[in-house]
């Protein structure tokens, strides 16, 4: 009886030890570098564009009621829900979770994103962080804004230079959505451009909370010669997923997430 118990224990332990030898296997996961590239570009450049427009939209509407502090704070609550509120709110400056905004003398805004943006690769630079880039946002009326990147003094004195990138966009806001009507994002690694007739649309924070993924629209990606990669594709946004499109080939993948950068298991079969 005792011997049987010992043998059974050994029989249970040995296969457990053998099966635990392989701790990871990525063969079953399909790797799509285009998806990772698009995810990084969306997180580091497209999302800050949309958030900067949202911040500028709040600050523009705030200017009209700024003398009424109570109404101004109520407006701020709709743009910054869930505790991630405005930490500072003055007539010419506001500091929020996604960035700081300043009122310029010509009536435009300067937005400095809070979190440093990152170039997609680290080739040739000590750090991928870009601390010296901001957005000049010009209100064009009817809650429509034109955005262009500007190089600002880098208070950290380190990191990659934003001068290597060129970013311009036109964003409009309505009661429900933030719409990226046009954009051109030129990075050392690739170029991202809007697709005519398919603006990237995302629910506005005052309508649906802090939503990260866009729900419709398309963007064209083309890798640069400098990157050493020849690839071009169209990224399609859909409700709950994205598509990587090359000609007639369409690959469906999970929607981009803010807090977790998907590295594996993102292809929807």
Tokens of 187: 């990075």
| Residue 189 binds another protein, judged by CB under 8 A | yes
1 vs 21, beta carbon nearer another protein: 21
Sequence-ordered list of residues with C-beta below 8 angstroms from that of 214, at least 6 positions apart, any chain: 46, 50, 180, 200, 201, 202, 237
Q: Which of 8, 31, 90, 208 binds another protein (CB under 8 A)?
A: 31
Q: Residues 124 to 163: which contact another protein by CB under 8 A?
A: 128
SS3 207: helix
- To another protein, the closest distance from the beta carbon of 151 in angstroms equals 23
| Residue 262 binds another protein, judged by CB under 8 A | no
SS3 2: helix
93 vs 166, beta carbon nearer another protein: 166
Please choose, out of 25-33, 161-169, 192-200, 234-242, the segment that lies near another protein by the rule CB under 8 A. Answer: 25-33
164 vs 181, beta carbon nearer another protein: 164
49 vs 223, beta carbon nearer another protein: 223
| Residue 3 binds another protein, judged by CB under 8 A | no
8 vs 122, beta carbon nearer another protein: 122
209 vs 228, beta carbon nearer another protein: 228
Cα–Cα dist 98/116, whole Å: 10
| Residue 56 binds another protein, judged by CB under 8 A | no
- To another protein, the closest distance from the beta carbon of 76 in angstroms equals 39
**At 6, which helix (H) or strand (E)?**
helix 2-19
Cα–Cα dist 266/269, whole Å: 9
Tell me the HSE value of 43 on the side-chain side, using a 13 A CA sphere: 19
DSSP state of 12: H
Q: Phi and psi at residue 107, in whole multiples of 5°?
A: 90, -5
How many residues sit in the footprint of another protein (CB under 8 A)?
A: 28
Cα–Cα dist 101/94, whole Å: 5
Q: Which of 3, 4, 15, 22 binds another protein (CB under 8 A)?
A: 22
| Residue 24 binds another protein, judged by CB under 8 A | yes
Question: Which of 171, 94, 97, 93 shows the shortest CA–CA distance to 139?
Answer: 171
33 vs 107, beta carbon nearer another protein: 33
Q: Which of 11, 71, 74, 122 binds another protein (CB under 8 A)?
A: 122
CA geometry: angle at 181 spanning 175 and 182, to 5°?
155
Q: Residues 205 to 244: which contact another protein by CB under 8 A?
A: 223, 227-229, 231
Question: Which of 164, 225, 217, 222 shows the shortest CA–CA distance to 194?
Answer: 217
Contacts with another protein, residue ranges (CB under 8 A) = 13, 17, 20-27, 29, 31-33, 36-37, 120-123, 128, 189-190, 223, 227-229, 231
């Amino acid at each position: 009886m005792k011997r049987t118990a010992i043998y059974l224990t050994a029989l249970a332990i040995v296969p457990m030890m053998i099966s635990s030898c392989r701790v990871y296997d990525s063969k079953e996961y399909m790797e799509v570098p285009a998806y990772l590239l698009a995810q990084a570009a969306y997180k580091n450049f497209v999302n800050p564009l949309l958030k900067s427009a949202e911040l500028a939209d709040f600050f523009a509407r705030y200017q009209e009621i700024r003398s009424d502090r109570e109404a101004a704070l109520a407006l701020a609550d709709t743009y910054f829900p869930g505790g991630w509120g405005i930490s500072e709110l003055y007539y010419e400056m506001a500091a929020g979770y996604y960035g700081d905004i300043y009122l310029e003398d010509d009536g435009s805004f300067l937005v400095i994103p809070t979190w440093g943006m990152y170039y997609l690769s680290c080739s040739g630079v000590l750090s991928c962080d870009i601390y010296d880039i901001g957005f000049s946002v010009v209100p064009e009326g009817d809650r429509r804004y034109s955005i262009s990147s500007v190089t600002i003094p880098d208070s950290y004195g380190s990191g990659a230079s934003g001068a290597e990138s060129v970013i311009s966009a036109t964003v409009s806001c309505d009661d429900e959505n933030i719409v990226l009507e046009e954009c051109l994002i030129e990075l050392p690694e690739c170029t991202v451009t809007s697709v005519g007739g398919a603006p990237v649309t995302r629910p506005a924070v005052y309508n649906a909370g802090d939503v990260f993924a866009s729900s419709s629209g398309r963007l064209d990606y083309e890798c640069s010669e400098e990157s050493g990669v020849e690839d071009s594709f169209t990224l399609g946004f859909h409700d709950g997923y994205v598509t990587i499109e090359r000609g007639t080939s369409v690959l469906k993948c999970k929607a981009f997430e803010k807090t977790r950068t998907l590295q594996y298991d993102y292809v929807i079969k």
